[in-house]
Amino acid sequence: VPVMDLRRIIPGHFAGGVAEALPIIAISLSFQNIVPVVAAQLEGDRNAIRQTVLLGSGIPMVMYLMWMGAVLSSIPAEVLSSGVDPVLSAEGALQVLGKVFSFAALSTSFVGATFGQVEELAARGWAKLSPDTAVHQNGFSKQLESPEPLYWDQIRNRERLLLYLLALAPPTLLAASASDLFIPALNAGGGILSPLLYGASPALMVWVQRYGKQPEEESRSQLEALVPGGK
């Protein structure tokens, strides 16, 4: 195992690269796309949803920090500045651990993003659900509570395959046709799309709910429970 030198991870050594890494950090730690799936599986239990989101985001963040600290303190500075992947340049146990961690990080992100996209497509009517499930989903979208989770046995096998094809085929074709697009896509997603989608959009939605068209009296209490605060 390479010797770790903690002096290599002094913040001043990477001050110039922090700004460049912010878009990738932002998109790597995004969790909002999986919240609808988590909320449906936990049947709208707010405490359970909150704990799941906090733990599900906190544990990976700690693991990322520990991993980056281990790599950056074990790889010489000349290797880091040479443009060579530090994991590929490592030897022995560190190289094996690096490959395992990289595979786990990619696979878990892939699974979460796929489930979130498939669930979103199903909720938008791309699959024929039973009337009961449709009522449950409508109730969940309005009141943040779902009597039942989305049952996959109520979707035909052909429609389930269609959902996965719709979720996976476009990005697969794009990645195959433009293999050098990965880093620019991360920068664009983390630097522009992620802040707009997960930062500005929720704030605008809350503002519209609070100060837009006044809701009917019967739904006012539900609205105040969903977006408390404000004037």
Which tens digit of pLDDT belongs to each residue from 13-48?
555 666 777 777 777 777 777 777 788 778 878 888
pLDDT value at residue 195: 81
Quickly tell me which residue has 């969790």 as its tokens: 31
Residue 206 has pLDDT above 50, yes or no: yes
Counting residues of the chain whose pLDDT is more than 90, the rounded percentage is: 0
Q: Taking a C-beta distance cutoff of 8 angstroms, is the pair 29, 186 a contact? A: no
Place 193 in a pLDDT band, splitting at 50, 70 and 90. confident
Q: Taking a C-beta distance cutoff of 8 angstroms, is the pair 150, 133 a contact? A: yes
For the chain, give the number of residues: 231
Counting residues of the chain whose pLDDT is more than 70, the rounded percentage is: 59
| CA 98 from centre of chain | 22
**Residue 52 C-beta-side C-alpha neighbours within 13 Å:** 18
Residue 50 CB partners (closer than 8 Å, separation 6+)? none
Between residues 186 and 150, the one the model is more confident about: 186
For the chain, what are the domain ranges?
A: 6-177
pLDDT tens digits for range 124-176: 665 554 444 444 444 444 444 443 444 555 556 677 788 888 888 888 888 88
Provide mean pLDDT across the span 191-195. Answer: 80
DSSP, residue by residue, 155-209: S-HHHHHHHHHHHHHHHHHHHHH-GGGHHHHHHHIIIIIHHIIIIIHHHHHHHHH
pLDDT value at residue 89: 59
pLDDT value at residue 86: 60
- Distance, in Å, from the CA atom of 180 to the CA atom of 187, rounded to the nearest integer, reads 13
